[in-house]
Amino acid sequence: MVTKMIMKKVILLGTPFFTTELRSSLSDASIEASEYIDGTIIDDALYVYYGDSVKDKTPNYAHLSLAELAQKKMIVPIIKDLNEFYSFIPNELAAINAISIESSFEIGKLKCFILEYFGLLETNRKIFISYKRSDCMAFAHQLHDSLIAAHYKPFLDSYSIEYGVDFQEYLRHELSDSAVFIFLNTPNYEMSQFTMEELNMCNKLQMGILEIKVPGSRNYDEAKFSVQYKLPEEVTSDKTFYATIIRDIISLLENSRLEMQSFRQKALSDQLKSVYPDVIADSETNGYESPSKKCKFFPVYHIPVSLDMQTIQGYSANGLQVTGFYNGLYCRNDVRNHIEWLNGISPVKMLDITK
């Protein structure tokens, strides 16, 4: 993931709502959200079109083409109720999947989209759910299904492991390939060898942790830097929770993803410097460069694929060697072999800093 660290612009169109919450959520990311001034066009901005009433169906922007913005993928529609989409959103944007934000609690959904659009947040939306089955099976399944509805890709061992594979090897790989580790901290979590192994692996990878702490559960040193949500009541194996609680958990996740990514980025950069102690943080990107400025390194927060190579290849010019670096501690052997094959045919390389 590569991005220049300059002020990004979000232009608000239509009838904006929850703007105070949006601006507050973006304040730590060098992103400015402002309403459109007629006649001013910013080529590298993201335009956000709010449909809040029938008058937003037919806007009058004399110097702005919504159709052109849609064609360039520079605009996204926002609406409170998706049932009102065709009544409140202009026809030029009818082909674009809208983001629904019913209340200010869901502003993190838009925040994550904006961060991903500008390359400030990785687009990997894999979430690893670690839980003790006998404590909270139904809640884990409820959370899994709700994350899917929120456009995440959760991993739950009872759903997500293919038939005929090495269970633990597959699980370890999926954990290392996830963006966030959700830790369902229940009273008997430590009674399982496997759940404790997952938490320890998460620490070795230095992933961001969202801890959902159940009354009666203990504190773990392994989760001392986690983002924490405290469940208001105890949980049993067959108990589910109100939709508002699930909403609040996902809202906390979305508002904390950048913070958790920063935690992992620092860990990766420290590991890179242990291999190449002379690298220097690049002032214009979130990468690093050699003292000779002939090599650049960019962090990859998951198990890399060819698209990651393509993303950073734009910085490979004039003989500059560009390398992505990642933590492949628990990468499956077949995937590792594929990455090595890609390294052999691509000018961009991927470096496993654990090797």
Spans of the chain below 70 pLDDT: 1-6, 283
Q: Note the pLDDT of residue 168.
A: 87
Asked if residue 210 and residue 183 are part of one domain, the reply reads yes
Residue 271 located in a structural domain: no
Tokens found for residue 142: 């409820």
Has residue 185 been placed in a domain?
yes
Give the per-residue SS3 of the chain.
Answer: CCCCCCCEEEEEEECCCCHHHHHHHHCCCCEEEEECCCCCCCCCCEEEEEECCHHHHCCCCCCCCHHHHHHCCCEEEEECCHHHHHHHCCHHHCCCCCEECCCHHHHHHHHHHHHHHCCCCCCCCEEEEECCHHHHHHHHHHHHHHHHHCCCEEECHHHHCCCCCCHHHHHHHHHHCCCEEEEEECCCHHHCHHHHHHHHHHHHHCCEEEEEECCCCCCCHHHCCCEEEECCCCCCCCCCCCHHHHHHHHHHHHHHHHHHHHHHHHHHHHHHHHHCCCCEECCCCCCEECCCCCEEEEECCCCCCHHHHHHHHCCCCCCCEEEEEECCCCCCHHHHHHHHHHHHHCCCEEEECCC
Whichever domain contains 220, its CATH number is: 3.40.50.10140
Find the domain containing 329 and state its range: 276-352
Phi then psi for residue 55, to 5 deg, are: -70, -20
Domain final residue, candidates 264, 287, 311: 264
CA atoms within a 13 Å half-sphere pointing along the CA-CB vector of 170: 13
Do residues 156 and 259 share a domain? yes
Beta strand pairing call for 75-79 and 46-51: parallel
Whether 2 maps to a domain, the answer reads no
Whether 193 and 221 share a structural domain: yes
Residue 97 covered by a domain = yes
Cβ contacts of 302 within 8 Å, gap of 6 or more: 122, 124, 126, 176, 177, 178, 179, 326
Shared domain check, 326 and 256: no
Structure tokens at 10: 């979000």
- Residue 2 has a pLDDT of 42
- Do 64 and 85 fall into the same domain? yes
Residues 160 and 241 in one domain: yes
Give the pairing of strands 180-185 and 153-155: unpaired
* In a shared domain, residues 162 and 283: no
pLDDT at 296: 94
- Which pLDDT value is given to residue 4? 42
Q: How many domains is the chain partitioned into structurally?
A: 3
What's the pLDDT score for residue 283?
67
